[in-house]
């Protein structure tokens, strides 16, 4: 909040200070409104893609948007209470923490590089844009990003739990806020393993693979992850039924 306060004080010293203050506050309003729209739309799109058969129908998406907006409005009512400032500080320090962000970014890099396969990801990018990106990106996915994200997680944890402005109960609630976005990842992995353990590292059927038999990951000319093995065809696919040519 300090930069905004200083900026408003600087504007008050300019000629026509009221006009520039109104313009500045309108900019902040539209910026927050734009972020809110993008946040709601991204959540709605994620839910619709999880349940396409039920939500990709006429009027279902609009109802989902209305429900999500009403829920967000009810949850935001706590920010107009007497203890709103303390809640805001907890959300700022724990809910929007660098720990969750660094954990998610590092885990994404590990999944792309070591599970899905950096070389296969290179093939997907080349298939989409027509050329392979800079080779240094492969080692960033494999080593650089996971290392710095892990270091960032430990450094941010040390700074968060060493602060003295929150009590033990506040830190416990803050820890739950911090773990909330991170716990979704292992939960979805567990659900995918329970559904089909053998297809955890197999790309989706609608994602075209330019070179499915090439190794997914190679380091120093050694194959770390082999290519995707083709799934066995069903009897119906091997011998498709032939249509009758007899007249009716």
Backbone torsion region of residue 221, taken as left when φ is above 0, otherwise alpha when ψ lies between -120 and 50, otherwise beta: left
What would the two tokens of residue 213 be?
A: 């038999």
Same domain, 118 and 166: yes
The pLDDT of residue 59: 87
The tokens describing 152, both together, are 């960032």
Place of tokens 């353990």: 197
Give yes or no: residues 162 and 218 share one domain.
yes
Q: Do 58 and 164 sit in the same domain of this protein?
A: no
Q: Which residue ranges are tagged as binding site for Na(+)? A: 31
Containing domain of residue 28, as a range? Answer: 18-80
pLDDT of residue 22: 87
Last residue of a domain, one of 29, 47, 80: 80
Residues 64 and 90 placed together within one structural domain of the fold: no
How many whole angstroms separate alpha carbon 199 and alpha carbon 158? 38
* Residue that is written with structure tokens 């190794």 in the block: 215
pLDDT value, residue 3: 64
Verify that 23 and 123 share a domain, yes or no: no
Domain co-membership, 194 together with 130: yes
Structure tokens given for 187 = 């939960």
Residues 50 and 162 in one domain: no
DSSP assignment string, 172-196: HHHHHHHHHHHHHHHHHHHHHHHH-
Given 80, 98, 130, the domain boundary residue is 80
Question: Do residue 89 and residue 43 come from a single domain?
Answer: no
CA–CA dist 151, 129 (Å, integer): 33
- Whether 53 and 69 map to the same domain: the answer is yes
Among 26, 50, 80, the domain-final residue is 80
Are 96 and 39 spatial neighbours (Cβ–Cβ below 8 Å)? no
User: pLDDT per position in the chain (248 positions), as tens?
Assistant: 566 677 778 877 888 888 888 888 898 889 888 988 888 888 899 888 888 888 888 888 899 999 999 998 998 898 888 888 888 888 877 777 788 889 999 999 998 999 888 998 988 898 889 888 888 999 999 999 999 999 988 888 776 666 556 777 878 888 888 888 888 888 888 888 888 766 666 666 666 777 778 888 888 888 888 876 654 444 444 455 554 444 44
């Amino acid at each position: 909040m300090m930069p905004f306060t200083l900026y408003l004080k600087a504007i008050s010293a300019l000629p026509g200070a009221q006009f520039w203050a109104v313009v500045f506050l309108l900019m902040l309003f539209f910026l927050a409104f734009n972020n809110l729209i993008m946040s709601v739309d991204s959540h709605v799109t994620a839910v619709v893609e999880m349940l396409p058969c039920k939500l990709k129908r006429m009027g279902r998406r609009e109802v989902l948007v209305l429900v999500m907006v009403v829920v967000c409005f009810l949850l935001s009512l706590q920010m107009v209470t007497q203890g709103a400032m303390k809640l805001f500080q907890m959300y700022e320090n724990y809910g929007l923490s660098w720990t969750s962000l660094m954990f998610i970014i590092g885990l994404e890099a590990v999944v792309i590089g070591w599970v899905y396969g950096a070389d296969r990801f290179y093939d997907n990018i080349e298939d989409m844009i027509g050329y392979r990106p800079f080779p240094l990106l492969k080692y960033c996915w494999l080593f650089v990003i996971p290392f710095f994200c892990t270091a960032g997680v430990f450094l941010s944890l040390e700074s968060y739990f060493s602060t003295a402005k929150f009590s033990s109960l506040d830190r416990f609630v803050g820890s739950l806020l911090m773990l909330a976005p991170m716990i979704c990842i292992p939960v979805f992995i567990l659900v995918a393993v329970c559904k089909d353990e053998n297809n955890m590292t197999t790309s989706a059927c609608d994602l075209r693979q330019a070179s499915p038999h090439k190794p997914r990951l190679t380091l120093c000319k050694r194959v770390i992850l082999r290519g995707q093995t083709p799934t066995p065809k069903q009897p119906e696919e091997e011998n498709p039924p032939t249509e009758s040519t007899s007249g009716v």
